Chains A and B, each alone.
Chain A
Amino acid sequence: MDLSINFKQVTHTYQPESPFAHQALQGVSFTIQEHSYTAIIGHTGSGKSTLIQHLNGLLRPTSGEVVVNQQTITANTSNKALINLRRKVGVVFQFPEAQLFEETVLKDIAFAPRNFGMAADQAEKIARKAASMVQLPQTVLKKSPFELSGGQMRRVAIAGILAMQPQILVLDEPTAGLDPRGHQEIMDLFAQLKREQNLTVILVSHQMDDVALYADQVIVLEEGKVIAQQTPRELFNRPKWLRQHHLDLPHAAKFAFDLEKQANLKFEQLPLTEDELADELAKYLPKEGEQ
């Protein structure tokens, strides 16, 4: 089955025909291949959140059409048709711990599969699996989600989405407010899931290091328009353009540009991650036996 995502001239206006009308997306077109890892970046208010709400039909385009999972969503698509889509597209919203409500962690994780018609015992099995995926200890499963720490609540919320077994995973700053270690673990988990289950992942992030490390393509939004769609390497190779649009470079790339300028080094390709930077720098080290 073709799981690619296609936006065709999508426009979204909030509160149309009212004095508060606001156009959040203006003729957005792009294609996301299946099994790819796409990062969406842009300033606050550039339309990122509006865009991702189109992916599972929470919002319908005011004009244009969205094709997800061979299903076309237009302004007239009925709610019923969209519920089917939500099973396939899991969305982890910003600060997803706000969605927890059940008496126990286990029940909360099993909530989504239950909603999509799964039998109770099977939903529980899947919930346990999802909990272990996000490294929740077995002991918390019987606890109330409100007894947990912020980091654990985040994991429960993410497990609740993974339990839906989505084929497309949409992440809206999934690690905002987590400590560096939690951030690393969660981001690695998503990368691992993508590899093992061949998911299509869409990440909204302000962290350019994550974009460089995980994504295979980047979509840049500005004021409701797509202003670039390229690989991270192509994008970060244009520091001047990025500065014009007030976007950052990954730390490794920034350091590499500084080195090129001040130490007169020349890298074959722009290092995007610390590992790549180390590899590039290693080429300048004297080989063993040389002096």
Chain B
Amino acid sequence: MNKVLLGRYLPGSSFIHRLDPRSKLVLSFYFIIVIFLANNWSTYLFMLFVVAGCILLAQIKLGFFWKGVQPLIWLILFTVLLQILFSRGGTIFWQWGPFSLTQTGIVSGIYVFFRFVLIIFMSTLLTLTTPPLEIAGALESLLKPLKKIHFPVYEVSLMLSIALRFVPTLIDEAAKIMNAQRSRGVNFDSGSLRQRLNAVVPLLIPLFVSAFNRAEDLATAMEARGYHGGEGRTKYRINQWHLRDTVSVVFFLLVTIVMILLRTW
């Protein structure tokens, strides 16, 4: 259970840590779009350098990023395999029915692999350097324009920040209940599919019940502290745009320009 890297935050004070969460969020999304511009080895190499530079700036060990890739490694390899086996063009090395091993296939397989890894690295960088609550806050202020079309921005961001806050609590709770039921003879790790499904019931019911209770307690506590809803509230966490945020935005614009140049080169 503790192996989950999702939503894990590593406190630090690097350049990347101190960036405004809004710019980090937007730039991470922007990066994912930019990476689709890459179409040859020089563009991929360049993107690799950009990501390596960001990781260096964040002062986080590379090991964490591999941990982020690990849960998805089979999906990545599967996609790469499909690319390799079903692409046509270039020299054909081997062919059997619909499957073929071609030069283009191998090259695009390698590209897909790098695309996946770079996207995961970048999103891991975002979650490792930004506390979940700041991500929720950033999302709220970015979604603010949607208020005009009566989108419940405030409610959605409140739900999001509460959900994020309770992810680790619920994981702990699940681990605790699992241990308690194991001690009562429940076997979670073996048996037929049916037995395994049955074994989940003594875990799920208490988990839901505890989530209901927790929600009720939390709602009561919020009301007791004078919560009436989103209207007319002030904010404690105020995002501030610094020079470093402008620098990062300019940097990514430059990256885009270089990418476009390298594409046609």
A265 CA to B46 CA, complexed, in Å: 83
In-complex Cβ contact of A15 among B3, B180, B182, B189 (8 A):
B3
Q: Which residue on B lies nearest to A15, using beta carbons?
A: B2
* A100 partner residues in chain B, CB cutoff 8 A: 206
In-complex Cβ contact of A115 among B61, B173, B184, B189 (8 A):
B184
Known: A15-B3, A98-B173, A99-B206. A115 touches B185 (CB 8 A): yes
Q: Are B176 and A93 in contact (CB under 8 A)?
A: yes
> A200 to nearest B CB, angstroms?
16
A161 CA to B182 CA, complexed, in Å: 12
Q: Are B185 and A90 in contact (CB under 8 A)?
A: no
Known: A15-B2, A99-B206. A116 touches B185 (CB 8 A): yes
Size category, A interface:
20 to 34
Contact with B along A110-135 (1 / 0, CB 8 A): 01100110000000000000000000
> A98 to nearest B CB, angstroms?
6
Q: Are A101 and B187 in contact (CB under 8 A)?
A: no
Size category, B interface:
20 to 34
What DSSP secondary structure best describes chain B's contact surface? helix
Is B14 part of the contact surface with A, judged by Cβ < 8 Å?
no
* B184 partner residues in chain A, CB cutoff 8 A: 86, 99, 111-112, 115, 160-161, 164
Is A271 part of the contact surface with B, judged by Cβ < 8 Å?
no
* B201 partner residues in chain A, CB cutoff 8 A: 101
Q: Are A115 and B210 in contact (CB under 8 A)?
A: no
Q: Which residue on B lies nearest to A96, using beta carbons?
A: B180
* B176 partner residues in chain A, CB cutoff 8 A: 93, 98
Is A286 part of the contact surface with B, judged by Cβ < 8 Å?
no
A88 CA to B64 CA, complexed, in Å: 40
Is A241 part of the contact surface with B, judged by Cβ < 8 Å?
no
Q: Are B183 and A90 in contact (CB under 8 A)?
A: yes
| Residues of A1-52 whose CB lies within 8 A of B | 14-15, 18-20
Q: Are B173 and A58 in contact (CB under 8 A)?
A: no
> A114 to nearest B CB, angstroms?
8
> B93 to nearest A CB, angstroms?
39
Contact with A along B193-210 (1 / 0, CB 8 A): 000000001100110011
Known: A14-B2, A15-B3, A53-B179. A98 touches B206 (CB 8 A): yes
| Residues of A75-120 whose CB lies within 8 A of B | 79-80, 83, 86-87, 89-91, 93, 96, 98-101, 111-112, 115-116
- Chain B contact residues, CB within 8 Å of chain A: 2-3, 61, 63-64, 67, 173, 176-177, 179-187, 189-190, 201-202, 205-206, 209-210
Show 18 residue pairs from A and B whose CB-CB distance is below 8 angstroms, ordered by the A residue. Answer: A18-B3, A18-B67, A58-B182, A79-B187, A86-B184, A91-B180, A93-B176, A93-B179, A96-B180, A98-B180, A99-B177, A99-B202, A99-B206, A101-B201, A101-B205, A101-B209, A112-B184, A161-B183
